[in-house]
């Protein structure tokens, strides 16, 4: 398989249609999900020539984490629906690729087990943890402490989910619960529950900037906010002392018809003016997409669905091949743009001609 699209085709053949639609589906008419991909295609790269460098360095440092490339594994739920090894396969591939994996709070493997698998591959795993802040702050604290004990290096707080998005593919299938024998393991055996008890994730429209301030007091870990699309929210985030932002529309899975992330990125970059790093997820399928995002202000990108397609197609090896393929495409794109590193990608290299 030579592209993310081919991995998706194989994944679709192998997955139960209910689970394929869970991963592929999005909110409403899925306009935003399509736009995430299509908006990259509408942007053109305008390469430079004769820059005099034949060696390229893809490595980045981000909030104390080092990665061999500006391509991270974005948080996605329920990896065991894609492959029996689930998040264990994903993290082993991510660590072998020497990049950051953002582990979902809604993982079907406990963060302790994910961390242990990462340590099998590298003595210094780069793991971040995605968090849905819970209105029950004691519950939230228990999750944070669990992630801290597992050795994660940053918290990624999803802020675009005051309520759960309406995904009509899931409604048609009646898919609203995990199959027997599978649970959200990070919510098992937490404070206030009986041994073996699994809490439920609660979405809450009551959450506010005060909760971010509370979390900053609770933990010394860097805090990133995931799901910021409005420039004023980006400015507020900087004023509230967050360490970074993930420009994301949840893969189109929350509110349909919001902008594609690559379209929202330039205004967010202008709003923060370099005060905090920006990561973009949503619609990244090619190395050229990575280059466009970095040129328009991102420090890195996250791969979500492509990782799941690799996992479903061929387990750990499939994830590894997806990451390596996008890495190779990005390196090739850098060479063709006359760039020696991600820092050489600037906004003048991107145009919208279509």
Model pTM score:
0.96
Tokens of 313: 């197609």
Place of tokens 């409604």: 171
Residue 287: which of 246, 328, 319 has the closest Cα? 328
Mean pLDDT within 136-145 = 94
Q: Which pLDDT tens digit goes with each residue over 20-46?
A: 999 999 999 999 999 999 999 999 999
pLDDT of 161-197, one tens digit each? 999 999 999 999 999 899 999 999 999 876 655 556 7
Give the pLDDT mean for 322-338. 98
Q: What is the pLDDT of residues 2-20, one digit of tens each?
A: 799 999 999 999 999 999 9
* Per-residue pLDDT tens over the stretch 247-275: 999 999 999 999 999 999 999 999 999 99
**DSSP-derived secondary structure letter, 106:** T
What tokens were used for 319? 């994830």
- Please give the helix or strand (H or E) that residue 320 lies within, else none: helix 305-336
Q: Among 152-161, 192-201, 238-247, 263-272, which stretch is predicted with the lowest mean pLDDT?
A: 192-201
Give percent of the chain above pLDDT 90. Answer: 92
Q: What is the pLDDT of residue 202?
A: 86
Backbone angles phi, psi at 205, to 5 degrees: -80, 0
Residue among 79, 83, 250, 332 flagged as catalytic:
250
Q: Do residues 234 and 246 make contact, with C-beta atoms less than 8 angstroms apart?
A: no
Please compute, for residue 3, the number of CA atoms within 13 A of its CA located in the half-sphere on the CB side. 8
- Do 84 and 90 meet the contact criterion of CB atoms below 8 Å apart? no
CB 248 within 8 A of CB 280: yes
- Residue 250 annotated among the catalytic residues of the structure: yes
Mean pLDDT, rounded, of the chain: 96
In the block, which residue shows the tokens 């996250």?
Answer: 302
**Within 13 Å, how many C-alpha atoms sit on residue 38's CB side?**
9
* Rounded mean pLDDT, 235-258: 98
**Closest C-alpha to 127, from 188, 84, 186:** 186
Burial of 230 (0-12, 13-18, 19+ CB in 10 A): middle
Residue 91 above 80 pLDDT?
A: yes
Q: Where is average pLDDT lowest: 186-190, 304-308, 327-331?
A: 186-190
Question: Tell me, what's the pLDDT at 213?
Answer: 97
Say what percent of the chain tops pLDDT 70: 97
In angstroms, the CA 351 to CA 291 distance is 12
Q: Are strands 65-67 and 60-62 parallel, antiparallel or unpaired?
A: antiparallel
Q: Domain boundaries in the chain?
A: 4-346
What angle (nearest 5°) sits at the alpha carbon of residue 200, between those of residues 171 and 249?
Answer: 55
Q: Which CATH superfamily is domain 4-346 in?
A: Aldolase class I (3.20.20.70)
| Predicted local distance difference test score (pLDDT) of residue 188 | 86
d(C-alpha 308, C-alpha 84), whole Å: 12
What pLDDT, on the 0 to 100 scale, is given for residue 1?
A: 73
């Amino acid at each position: 398989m030579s592209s993310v699209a081919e991995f998706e085709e194989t994944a679709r053949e192998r997955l139960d249609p209910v689970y394929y639609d869970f991963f592929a589906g999005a909110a409403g008419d899925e306009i935003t999900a399509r736009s995430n991909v299509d908006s990259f295609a509408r942007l053109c790269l305008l390469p430079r020539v004769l820059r005099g460098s034949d060696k390229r360095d893809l490595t980045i440092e981000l909030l104390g984490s080092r990665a061999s490339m500006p391509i991270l594994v974005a948080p996605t739920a329920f990896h065991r629906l894609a492959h029996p090894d689930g998040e264990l396969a994903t993290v082993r591939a991510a660590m072998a690729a020497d990049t950051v994996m953002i582990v979902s709070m809604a993982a079907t493997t406990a963060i302790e087990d994910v961390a242990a698998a990462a340590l099998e591959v590298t003595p210094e795993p780069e793991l971040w943890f995605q968090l849905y802040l819970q209105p029950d702050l004691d519950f939230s604290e228990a999750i944070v402490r669990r992630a801290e004990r597992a050795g994660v290096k940053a918290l990624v707080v999803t802020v675009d989910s005051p309520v759960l998005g309406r995904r009509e593919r899931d409604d048609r299938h009646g898919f609203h619960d995990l199959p027997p024998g599978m649970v959200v393991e990070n919510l098992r055996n937490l404070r206030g529950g009986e041994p073996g008890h699994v809490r439920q994730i609660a979405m809450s429209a009551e959450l506010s900037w005060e909760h971010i301030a509370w979390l900053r007091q609770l933990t010394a870990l860097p805090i990133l906010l995931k799901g910021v699309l409005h420039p004023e929210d980006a400015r507020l985030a900087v004023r509230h002392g967050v360490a970074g932002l993930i420009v994301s529309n949840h893969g189109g899975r929350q509110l349909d018809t919001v902008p594609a992330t690559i379209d929202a990125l330039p205004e967010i970059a202008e709003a923060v003016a370099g005060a905090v790093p920006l990561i973009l997820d949503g619609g990244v399928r090619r190395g050229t997409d990575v280059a466009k995002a970095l040129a328009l202000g991102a420090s890195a990108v996250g791969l979500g669905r492509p990782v799941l397609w690799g996992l479903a197609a061929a387990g750990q090896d499939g994830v590894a091949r997806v990451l390596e393929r996008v890495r190779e495409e990005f390196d090739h794109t850098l060479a063709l743009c006359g760039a020696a590193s991600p820092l050489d990608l600037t906004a003048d290299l991107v145009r919208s001609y279509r």
